[in-house]
Structure 1
Amino acid sequence: MDVLVPILYILAFGLFIYGLMGLTGPKTAVRGNKIAAVGMTIAVVATLLTVTHNWILIIVGLVVGTALGVPSAQKVQMTAIPQMVALFNGVGGGAVALIAWSEFRTTDSFSGEPAYVIVASLFAAIIGSVSFWGSIVAYGKLQEILPGRPIGLGRAQQFVNVALLAGAIACAVVAGLGGAAEIWIIGLLVVAAVLGVLVVLPIGGADMPVVISLLNALTGLSAAAAGLALDNTAMIVAGMIVGASGSILTNQMAVAMNRTIPAIVAGGFGGTTLVPGADDGVDRTVKSTSAADAAVQMAYASSVIVVPGYGLAVAQAQHTVKDMAKLLEAKGVEVKYAIHPVAGRMPGHMNVLLAEADVPYDALKEMDDINDEFSRTDVTLVIGANDVTNPAARTDPSSPIYGMPILNVDQSHSVIVLKRSMGSGFAGIENPLFYADNTSMLFGDAKKSVAEVTEELKAL
């Protein structure tokens, strides 16, 4: 076993990295996911080979975890993937926090343990607990169990957060000195839990994609620390891969929103309620259109860009959109899809959604690649996207999203927006695009509206 287990771990690490490389593109993402899953299976098997006792508990844990995880993953709707990711990520952080507590108990309050084991265990306990409870709050906001708007303590928020962090560190110092009562490690976990809740609660719904990515990175770092304490190479490597990739993704998401990570953690925007029609100097005349008129516009266009958003996910309209695009392409219309980095409620949400409908990968264009094409586009069809198409990000210095890179939808010759109502997006602010001279609104459920447009196209 002294030779076999390290060999299996090295094989698993190679598969982790190779699988992660596959996730860099939609064509290889599914294969990369499967490769990484094989690597994780090998790592689990290698770890089990080192187990000499507690087999009953391990088997029970595997059965319970499988019984809960597999059906949940199979039944979850595409619209609920962001909160599922948040929940699964949180469970990982919670597991790490419990491992740290167990390490404290089994080593008789860290008595005789090397300093690096103590520090790593306590670091894992704090970060794991923050990640678990922060992820639970993120899940609650995305699932709309909790309000999406920022919920905070005002000016006292940062003082309270710093005090809680200091309290968690103080508990860690006492617990790490050796011989401390168990109440100190419990206190550490509780204080860190409150910190996790109070850090995420003031963050608005519009910042949730970044929060999910950040919490994922924290879970990876806590897992790596726990692996260091347990002398488990698999946990160290896997945790560092998750932590590093999650950190890079978090930074990319923040850049895509023209925001800094400290500003988001300090309390983001989003989820507020702005009454449509408020006096902000914008002409509130809205032009409605019909499925028939929309079909005619697109059928006689040379190019159409589809901009998907969370509304498309809610309506499960991706397959209907694919059918409509096939009809347009049969009429000689070039159809492309513009993907904003933070469209939806998690990184890559729209890519996954459209891939599920077998939309050609080459038709999916990232924001930087397609923004210059809007001014040459005849018709842009916006389906449920709001904040990522809001021109106020370019034109209104007083807007909370001012400076955020957006899709230049308003520069198209004609814009058709599919929405249920004139309600604001997740950031809670009005979108002047809806009132622009070149914009028409097609109200209704996105799937039903696209289906009606498709039928009209067939009749042309």
Structure 2
Amino acid sequence: MISADIAALLYLLAGVLFILALRGLSSPRTARQGNLQGMVGMGIAILTTLAVAAPSDWISWLLIIGGLGIGGGIGAYMARTVKMTDMPQLVAAFHSLVGLAAVFVAAAALYAPEAFGIGAVGAIHPQALVEMSLGVAIGAFTFTGSVIAFAKLNGNMSGKPIILPARHAIHIAMGLVLIGLVWAFVVTGNPWLFWLTTILALVLGGLMIIPIGGADMPVVVSMLNSYSGWAAAGIGFTLGNTALIITGALVGSSGAILSYIMCKAMNRSFISVILGGFGADSSAAAAAEDDRPVKQGAAEDAAFLMKNAGKVIIVPGYGMAVAQAQHALREMADLLKKEGVTVKYAIHPVAGRMPGHMNVLLAEANVPYDEVFELEDINSEFAQSDVAFVIGANDVTNPAAKTDKTSPIYGMPVLNVEDAGTVLFIKRGMAAGYAGVQNELFFRDNTMMLFGDAKKVTEDIVKSLGH
């Protein structure tokens, strides 16, 4: 056991390390250091919690150590085996576990309040009832919402919006009932109201995410990240755990800020993402455009064009992630630089399936940080580039976002790849993008399609450059 003052100091130290971790993760150059600081902070928080609430019997210690061992073992296994392409759904799965943990802790506090210092059974402090009800409502919502997000990202459910009849009215009615249940539980402390709140929040979480289409998934992931943080903070108050309150507040606020950035990058309001589908009416338009002719080329053509270019801008997307083509792409860029070609990478904020997805993949391939640029920093340079090399990025390069007011992606800022002298576009086929919208770029006169697996096509280009 340690004193409350020492515990408070250690929790404060852990909180400072968490803040430094977030600061470090804001840049690829300091991400490794930030990750390490976060790990150290979490280690301090766990050990301090164990020291403060050290049980006196060996059975409790056995359960705690067993839980840490099982959880840590599963985490280590997943860290070593999960592919980078599966990282978005892994993050969604983690969010679901945070929400579920909040529900379990709130239930434990409800039935054993004396262990948490919040009163006795049937006489829990009103403040604790408020914290519990908010924690369980947000946690349950986060759990089922994250499960649906996981299923959509993992391909277990269609990425297209699943539109339910009168969904807005249903969501509003359920939200009002949920608020009423929370109020009634706080007033009465009735366990049945607690479980009704939990069940309704579980159902509402699933129903709110089902109508959201695949193109909005980066926003959904960051939004659920925020929800999981607020659920943790609410339970932190119930437990009286400073570290959990700090951590939850940091995750909740950073997730909310990231959601705002994502919505701004897509020119969409946060409310519209939560309440509406995306790309629901685009399938007919995409089917009508599939039979238009496109200019098709081979790896040798692409190698010749880029080898004789002065400037090439590479635009990576989810197709690169699926094919694991980042290493071949870096090799191609290295060969081009040896020929005197200026090479840069353009990253759209919502490229891939989660924020920063492309940055992580390029860093994994040891692409220099100073060659990677965000949309607002490089968009004006496409007009001065000889070649734009698009590898699996679809919706974020679609010019229809700027010209077609009937398109569901209209108004979303996109990369101006069509302004380049030549656009080389690697894609498996002519299928529409994740938003269900056909890309107008395919049919431009200055676009050459390179059909095939992104890694295989890039490797063929590398071979041609080496000859």
**Counterpart in 1 of 2:245?**
236
Could you tell me which amino acid in structure 2 is paired with residue 173 of structure 1?
Answer: W
> SS at 1:49's partner residue?
helix
Matched, 1:113 2:124: yes
Could you tell me which amino acid in structure 2 is paired with residue 11 of structure 1?
Answer: L
**Counterpart in 1 of 2:455?**
447
Cα distance, 1:402 vs. partner? 0.6
Alignment equivalent of 1:263, drawn from 253, 272, 275? 272
> SS at 1:177's partner residue?
helix
Matched, 1:323 2:331: yes
Conservation of the 8 A alpha-carbon contact between 1:148 and 1:271: no
Matched, 1:174 2:176: no
Matched, 1:247 2:249: no
TM-score, length basis structure 2: 0.95
**Within-5 A mapping of 1:25-424:** 25-53=27-55, 54-107=60-113, 111-154=122-165, 156-178=166-188, 180=190, 182-270=191-279, 274=283, 278-279=287-288, 284-424=292-432
- Per mean C-alpha deviation after superposition, the further-off stretch among 67-76 and 201-210 is 67-76
Conservation of the 8 A alpha-carbon contact between 2:223 and 2:256: yes
Closer/same/farther in 2, CA of residues 277 and 403 from structure 1, 3 Å limit: closer
Separation in structure 1 between the aligned mates of residue 373 and residue 333 of structure 2, nearest angstrom: 15
**Counterpart in 2 of 1:7?**
9
Closer/same/farther in 2, CA of residues 57 and 184 from structure 1, 3 Å limit: farther
Cα distance, 1:185 vs. partner? 1.7
> SS at 1:304's partner residue?
strand
Cα distance, 1:178 vs. partner? 3.8
**For residues 190-216 of structure 1, what are the alpha-carbon distances to aligned partners after superposition, in whole Å with 9 as ceiling and x for unaligned?**
110000000000000000000000000
Separation in structure 2 between the aligned mates of residue 98 and residue 245 of structure 1, nearest angstrom: 24
Could you tell me which amino acid in structure 2 is paired with residue 166 of structure 1?
Answer: L
Runs of 5+ unmatched residues, structure 2 = 114-118
Separation in structure 1 between the aligned mates of residue 30 and residue 128 of structure 2, nearest angstrom: 39
CA RMSD of aligned residues (A): 1.7
Count of matched residue pairs: 456
Conservation of the 8 A alpha-carbon contact between 2:24 and 2:30: yes
Closer/same/farther in 2, CA of residues 268 and 425 from structure 1, 3 Å limit: same
> SS at 2:406's partner residue?
coil
**Counterpart in 1 of 2:116?**
none
TM-score, length basis structure 1: 0.96
Cα distance, 1:272 vs. partner? 7.1
> SS at 2:373's partner residue?
strand
> SS at 1:382's partner residue?
strand
Conservation of the 8 A alpha-carbon contact between 2:403 and 2:410: yes
Percent sequence identity is: 47
Conservation of the 8 A alpha-carbon contact between 1:206 and 1:271: no
Could you tell me which amino acid in structure 1 is paired with residue 350 of structure 2?
Answer: V
Cα distance, 1:110 vs. partner? 6.1
Closer/same/farther in 2, CA of residues 179 and 315 from structure 1, 3 Å limit: closer
Could you tell me which amino acid in structure 1 is paired with residue 76 of structure 2?
Answer: V
> SS at 2:437's partner residue?
coil
Separation in structure 2 between the aligned mates of residue 189 and residue 242 of structure 1, nearest angstrom: 22
Cα distance, 1:139 vs. partner? 0.2
- Per mean C-alpha deviation after superposition, the further-off stretch among 106-115 and 73-82 is 106-115
Cα distance, 1:228 vs. partner? 1.0
Conservation of the 8 A alpha-carbon contact between 2:13 and 2:41: yes
Separation in structure 2 between the aligned mates of residue 65 and residue 398 of structure 1, nearest angstrom: 48
Separation in structure 2 between the aligned mates of residue 65 and residue 252 of structure 1, nearest angstrom: 33
> SS at 2:52's partner residue?
coil
Cα distance, 1:4 vs. partner? 2.1
